[in-house]
C-alpha cells in the first residue's frame, strides 16, 4: 500500500510516516500544505491519503477541500481525514458524494497504533472509519425525513458500530449478543434503508453512509 500524508505539524507528520512505515505501508510523499498534496497526488500512484483538516494558510478546512478535490479528480479515492476537533459540517461534506472509502478520526485516535492502522486499511479497501464522537454529532442534525429515523434504538446502535468499521463478530462482543442477533438487526437495517439485495457487496458501506450523511 502507498499513501500520501498531509499534516502541517512537522512532529506529527514525521510520527505518522514512521508509524505507517512500521506497518509496511509506503509513504509516497509527506507534505505540510494542501497545494503540495494535490501536486503529489498528480505525480504519484497511491492507494489513499491521510490529511489534517486544518492546514495553512487559514487553518480552517484546507485539508478537507484537498480531500474533496482528490475525490473529484479520482472518484472514490480513499481519504482518511484527521482533526483535533469534531467538525461535523466538514464531515458531512466529505460524505456528501455517497462514495465509499472515507474516514474521519480525531487525532487522539492516532495514539492507538493498531486502531489507526486498521482504520486506514479499511478506508483504502473501500470501507468507512468514523470517530464515534463525529457520528454522535452528525446524528443529532437529522431531519424528519431521514430514513434512519425508521430504525429502532438498538438498530441505530448496531449501525453506529457498522459505521465505525466493526464486523459482526466485534459488534456481537461489544453488545453482548449473538452474531445471529447482529445479523438479524443488520438485515432489518438494510430493509428499512431500502438497500436492495443486489447491493449485497456494498450494503454495509451504503448503510453506514446513509447513517452518517446529514
What pLDDT does residue 16 have?
92
Task: Report d(CA 14, CA 18) in Å as an integer.
Answer: 6
Q: Which of 117, 126, 212, 199 is nearest to 163 (CA)?
A: 212
Torsional sign, CA 211, 207, 183, 127: negative
What pLDDT does residue 45 have?
93
What pLDDT does residue 110 have?
74
Cis peptide before 192 (omega within 30 of 0): no
Question: Cell numbers of 100, please?
Answer: 465509499
Question: Cell numbers of 66, please?
Answer: 484537498
Task: Report d(CA 167, CA 68) in Å as an integer.
Answer: 27
What pLDDT does residue 214 have?
39
Strand order in the sheet with 79-83: 26-31, 2-6, 48-52, 79-83, 102-106, 128-130
What pLDDT does residue 206 have?
67
Question: Cell numbers of 40, please?
Answer: 503529489
From first to last of the 214 residues of the chain, give the pLDDT tens digit.
999 999 999 998 999 999 999 999 999 999 999 999 999 999 999 999 999 988 888 888 888 889 989 988 998 899 998 888 766 666 666 666 555 788 888 887 777 888 889 989 989 998 888 777 776 666 666 565 677 778 888 988 888 888 777 888 888 998 999 999 998 988 888 888 777 665 545 666 667 766 665 3
Residue 90: Cβ within 10 Å count:
23
Amino acid at each position: 500500500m502507498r499513501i500520501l500524508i498531509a499534516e502541517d505539524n512537522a512532529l506529527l507528520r514525521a510520527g505518522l510516516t514512521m508509524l505507517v512505515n512500521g506497518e509496511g505501508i509506503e509513504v509516497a510523499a509527506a507534505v505540510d500544505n494542501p497545494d503540495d498534496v494535490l501536486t503529489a497526488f498528480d505525480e504519484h500512484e497511491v492507494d489513499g491519503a491521510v490529511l489534517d483538516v486544518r492546514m495553512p494558510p487559514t487553518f480552517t478546512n484546507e485539508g478537507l477541500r484537498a480531500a474533496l478535490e482528490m475525490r473529484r479528480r479520482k472518484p472514490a479515492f480513499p481519504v482518511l481525514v484527521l482533526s483535533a476537533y469534531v467538525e461535523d459540517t466538514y464531515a458531512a461534506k466529505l460524505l456528501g458524494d455517497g462514495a465509499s472509502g472515507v474516514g474521519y478520526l480525531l487525532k487522539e485516535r492516532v495514539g492507538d497504533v493498531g486502531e489507526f492502522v486498521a482504520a486506514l486499511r479499511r478506508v483504502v479497501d473501500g470501507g468507512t472509519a468514523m470517530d464515534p464522537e463525529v457520528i454522535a454529532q452528525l446524528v443529532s442534525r437529522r431531519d424528519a425525513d431521514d430514513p434512519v429515523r425508521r430504525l429502532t434504538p438498538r438498530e441505530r446502535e448496531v449501525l453506529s458500530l457498522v459505521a465505525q468499521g466493526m464486523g459482526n463478530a466485534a459488534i456481537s462482543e461489544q453488545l453482548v449478543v449473538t452474531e445471529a442477533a447482529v445479523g438479524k438487526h443488520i438485515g432489518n437495517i438494510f430493509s428499512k434503508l431500502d438497500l436492495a439485495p443486489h447491493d449485497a457487496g456494498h450494503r454495509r458501506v451504503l448503510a453506514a453512509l446513509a447513517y452518517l450523511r446529514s
